[in-house]
Homo-oligomer: A and B are copies of this chain.
Amino acid sequence: MNGNSQQSTKCSDSVRASRFVDKNRLWNRHMEMAAIGAIPGNGVNRQALSLEDIAARKLLISWAAARHYEIAMDGIGNLFVRRTGNEPELAPVMTGSHMDSQPMGGRFDGIYGVLAGLEIMEALDEAGVQTRRPIDLVAWTNEEGSRFAPGAMGSMVFTGSRPLDDFLGVKDQNGITLSDALADTIAAIPNCASHEFATPVAAYVEAHIEQGPLLEQSGSTIGVVTGIQGFRWFNVEVTGEAAHAGTTPISLRRDALQTAVACISALNALIREETDTLRFTIGRLDVTPNTPNTVPCRAAFSIDLRHPDQVVLERVGDLVEATCRTACIRCAVKVTEIATRSPCVFNPSMVDSVEEAAARLGLPSMRMPSGAFHDALFMHEICPTGMVFVPCEKGISHNPAENAAPDDLVAGARVLLATLVELANA
């Protein structure tokens, strides 16, 4: 048997095994997960390290345990499920995503990458396929960053991009620290082996819904992701002085909300550009004391800035603080950059691997950058990384109306399987 025929045997192995991806099992598990933290309109609210997150972890573990996969958790709660390989001491190939959601999130964002990863392990079992390297499924802690900012904490800490200590003191809106929520989560999941940070990984491939409209518009089933745009996250805190709404002349007020409005207007002017490529979002604004007849003494808001070009990201982001200071009306303004990441371009061999897997399976694909960031952004720092996108209805995401077709979810899982089997046998 020469090299070529060996290669073609492996390829046909992965194509054959991909047929064991089970559409009903994959879909039903999405629906079971969606019941945890369900909100009106088919949505999901499953905040990082919440009781719902714990319930989702337990459900995933129950499925993995039924297959006797190895289960472990690291110090920030990243959950690892291993299907071992013929050479178990080798670095694994890894797949996965996250199980936390936005407060008004959907049924597919993140959880699809986790359930697709479990699905391919089971499909390989049923196909009787052994791989040379182990395959690890990971569920990253707190990708969304909506309860504890910033997002992607789990993958940042695992990859050594940021130390755990940086995040332990971060508080949610109720004043609960990440440290406490993490301790509660770890305590709720006993009998779980412990996993180290920064263990070697041979390659990482993450499946995800696109969260944008391009695949649907082009009629492609598979998005071959070429990289991820960079981002900069800021918190802006405005401090003024509380005063009586009926007695205090406007010219004497130190109105924190009016300064926040002036800052946002000035930032809108700063970020305006013709191509509409830059993403600029004020997603969060908290006013104190937030009562109709008191001039607000405090207003705090978030800024989420993204662009595929590092030069633009630097130029605009570096002007945020000065823009806010100039707009300030008799208040104090404090601008803090809480997270940043340069745009990343995936390793071309990984992009090719995903594209070729789709081709072998006869699935129409297109190359595209990712508008959203993902844990893959950080894994890219420590190993060859790629992503598989599947379409979502009208591109809607971070919204209860988020939807995806069962056939598309299966297609993505099959591409993921074919890609990972190749990488695990390399």
Chain A residues within 8 Å of B, Cβ to Cβ: 102-104, 144-146, 149-151, 210-212, 229, 231, 233, 241-251, 255, 257-258, 261, 264-265, 268, 276, 278-297, 302-304, 306, 370-373, 395-400
| Known A146-B292, A276-B249: A243·B285 in contact at CB below 8 Å | no
Q: Is the CB of A290 within 8 A of B294?
A: no
Complex CA gap A278/B395 in Å reads 46
Complex CA gap A372/B255 in Å reads 18
Contacts of A150 in B (CB 8 A): 292
Closest-by-CB residue of B relative to A173 is: B290
Q: Is the CB of A103 within 8 A of B289?
A: yes
Tell me how many chains of this kind the complex includes.
2
Contacts of A242 in B (CB 8 A): 102, 104, 398-400
Q: Is the CB of A281 within 8 A of B306?
A: no
Contact of A281 among B295, B303, B304 (CB under 8 A): B295
> Can you list 7 contacts pairing A with B, beta carbon distance less than 8 Å?
A145-B292, A146-B292, A146-B294, A211-B247, A251-B276, A258-B268, A261-B265
Complex CA gap A284/B295 in Å reads 9
Closest-by-CB residue of B relative to A294 is: B398
The residue among A242, A303, A399 with the most chain B CB atoms within 10 A of its own CB is A242
| Known A257-B285, A265-B261: A294·B246 in contact at CB below 8 Å | no
Contacts of A400 in B (CB 8 A): 242
**Distance (Å) between the CB of A293 and the closest chain B CB?**
5
Complex CA gap A306/B288 in Å reads 21
Q: Is the CB of A281 within 8 A of B293?
A: yes
Complex CA gap A401/B268 in Å reads 35
**Distance (Å) between the CB of A400 and the closest chain B CB?**
8
Q: Is the CB of B265 within 8 A of A250?
A: no
Q: Is the CB of A257 within 8 A of B229?
A: no
Q: Is the CB of B287 within 8 A of A398?
A: no
Contacts of A292 in B (CB 8 A): 145-146, 149-150, 233, 281, 283-284, 302-304
Q: Is the CB of B246 within 8 A of A288?
A: no
Q: Is the CB of B372 within 8 A of A247?
A: yes
Q: Is the CB of A103 within 8 A of B244?
A: no
Closest-by-CB residue of B relative to A251 is: B276
Complex CA gap A151/B244 in Å reads 14
Contacts of A302 in B (CB 8 A): 292
Q: Is the CB of B103 within 8 A of A290?
A: yes
Contacts of A284 in B (CB 8 A): 287, 290-292
Contacts of A303 in B (CB 8 A): 292
Q: Is the CB of A102 within 8 A of B289?
A: yes
Q: Is the CB of B294 within 8 A of A243?
A: no
Q: Is the CB of B290 within 8 A of A244?
A: no
Q: Is the CB of A293 within 8 A of B151?
A: yes
Q: Is the CB of A285 within 8 A of B282?
A: no
Contacts of A144 in B (CB 8 A): 291, 293
Closest-by-CB residue of B relative to A272 is: B250
Q: Is the CB of A371 within 8 A of B246?
A: yes
Complex CA gap A292/B151 in Å reads 10
Q: Is the CB of A283 within 8 A of B279?
A: no
Q: Is the CB of A291 within 8 A of B146?
A: yes
Contact of A250 among B102, B279, B398 (CB under 8 A): B279
Q: Is the CB of A243 within 8 A of B289?
A: no
